[in-house]
Amino acid sequence: MDRTSLMTGIEKDWNKFLSLPISEKLPYFERDGRIYDCLFAQQLDRKSLTHIFEIADKLRTMTKKKEGMDFVNSLLSHKKAMLYFVQPSTRTFLSFLNACHILGIKTGEIRDTSTSSELKGETPEDTVRTFSSYVDMIIMRHPTPNFVEKTAWLMNKTNRPVPVINGGSGKDQHPTQAILDVYTLYRSFNSEIENKTIAMVGDLKRGRTVRSLSYLMKNYKNVKLIFISPKEFAMESDILEFLKKHNISYYETDNFEEGISQADAIYMTRIQDEHDKNGESKKVDISSFEFKQKHLDIIKKTAIIMHPLPRRSEIEISVDEDPRAMYWRQERNGMWARAALISIIFGVDHKVAALK
C-alpha cells in the first residue's frame, strides 16, 4: 500500500489510524524508502539499525578533528529544529540538542507549557502546528500517550509537513533510547551482537527501555535473555509472548548473582515508582538486585554493565571506575546515534558515509 492510498482511507480519523497495527502504519511515516518520522522501535530493522550505527561511528571519528567537525557542522546548517519537551528530561533533551548542534542545525526550545499559547485556549494540535511553521523538524517529549504519534499524523496531513522524532511519549514509546542501547551493545561487542547473553535487572514490568530492547533483539540471531527481578516487577507477558513467537530464548529468575554471572551484558534499571498508584514499590525489597563493588568479581571479565540512567542506588558509585562500566559511554552513544538518525532523516547520510 503506498502512502497516498493509505492516507486517503484514514486521514480523516485519528482514532481509526491509532488502532491500526504498527506494521500497517509504517508506510505513513516513511518517504522514498527512508525513515521520515521516528516514532516506534518497531520501525527499526537490522539493516536500518546497522546503518545508523555505521553513520554514528563515522560521525564520531570525523569530528575528532576541527576540519571534520566543521564539515559535519555544515551538513544541515540550513535547517532549524524545534525541541518541544514539556516533561522533565534534561538528559534526553541535551542529547538531542547537542546532536542537532553537531550537524549545524539551529535550535529553538519549549520546555514549559506555561509560556505557551495554551494559556490563551489554543488546542495542543494548533500549538504544535504553530511550532512546525518555523522549523524543519520537531523533536518532542510529551506525557500524553500517543501524542507524538498524533503530531506526526497531523503534520503529514498539512501542506507543509516536517519530520517528527519521538523523544519519549507516554509509557511505552522511546525509540531513540532503544537505538542507543543496541548501539552500545554493537560498539562494546565489536559489531557482533549475535550469540550474546543479556541480563536485564530491576523493574522489568514498567521499564520501557528493557521492553524495547527485548523487542529489538529479534534482529540478532541466537541472543539469550535473562530477566532478573523480584516477582512483583517481572517482565510483562506481551513481551514474553513476542519472544516465544520469534524463538528468542529467555528465562526469568530472582537470583541476581547467579543471573549476572552468566551474562555478556548486564542491563540495570531503576524502579519506576513514578508509575506507582499506591506506593506499591516501597513494599518490595530490591536490595538484593543492586550492583555492588563486590559483584565486579563474579561477572565475566568481558561483560559490560549498562544503565539507561538516571540511577539511584542500583549501581554503587565506585563501580563507575571499572572499565566494564559502560553506562556513561552509553549515554554519550545516544548523542551520536541521534545525530546519525537525524542525518538519515534529512538524507545527508551518504555525505557522511562517503568520507574517508
So which residues are the catalytic ones? 91-92, 120, 141, 174
Cβ closer to a second copy: 69 or 234? 69
- Run of H or E residues at 141: strand 137-142
Question: 292 vs 99, 268, 320, 327, CA distance in Å?
Answer: 33, 12, 11, 15
- Run of H or E residues at 175: helix 175-188
Cβ 166 to a second copy shortest distance, Å: 19
SS3 assignment, position 187: helix
Cβ closer to a second copy: 108 or 246? 108
Cβ 207 to a second copy shortest distance, Å: 13
Question: 209 vs 94, 125, 294, 320, CA distance in Å?
Answer: 19, 28, 26, 21
> Is 90 one of the binding residues for a second copy (CB under 8 A)?
yes
- Which of 171, 300, 311, 324 touches a second copy (CB under 8 A)? 311
Residue type, 276: D
Yes or no: say if 343 and 55 are a contact pair by the CB < 8 Å rule.
yes
Report the Cα 66 to chain-centroid distance in Å.
Answer: 29
Residue type, 61: T
Residue 197 DSSP label = E
At 199, list the grid cell. Answer: 541480563
> Is 18 one of the binding residues for a second copy (CB under 8 A)?
no
Cβ 88 to a second copy shortest distance, Å: 5
x/- track of binding to a second copy for residues 322-351 (CB under 8 A): ------x--xx--x----------------
Number of residues engaging a second copy in binding (CB under 8 A): 56
Stretch that binds a second copy, among 37-45, 127-135, 139-147, 256-264 (CB under 8 A): 127-135
At 257, list the grid cell. Answer: 548473582
- Which of 13, 24, 70, 322 touches a second copy (CB under 8 A)? 70
Residues 233-292 that bind a second copy (CB under 8 A): 270, 274
Cβ closer to a second copy: 116 or 262? 116
List CB contacts of 66: < 8 A, sequence separation 6 or more.
none
- Run of H or E residues at 228: strand 224-228
Stretch that binds a second copy, among 189-197, 208-216, 280-288, 309-317 (CB under 8 A): 309-317
- Which of 13, 24, 45, 133 touches a second copy (CB under 8 A)? 133
Stretch that binds a second copy, among 87-95, 186-194, 212-220, 231-239 (CB under 8 A): 87-95
Whole-angstrom Cα Rg for the chain: 21
Rounded to the nearest 10°, the torsion over CA 267, 273, 278, 282 is: 70
Yes or no: say if 106 and 82 are a contact pair by the CB < 8 Å rule.
no
> Is 97 one of the binding residues for a second copy (CB under 8 A)?
yes
137 DSSP β-pair partners: 81
> Is 94 one of the binding residues for a second copy (CB under 8 A)?
yes
> Is 3 one of the binding residues for a second copy (CB under 8 A)?
no
For a second copy, the binding residues (CB under 8 A) are 63, 66, 69-70, 73-74, 77-78, 80, 82, 88-91, 93-95, 97-98, 101-102, 106, 108, 110-112, 114-117, 119-122, 126-127, 129-131, 133-135, 157-158, 160, 270, 274, 309-312, 321, 328, 331-332, 335
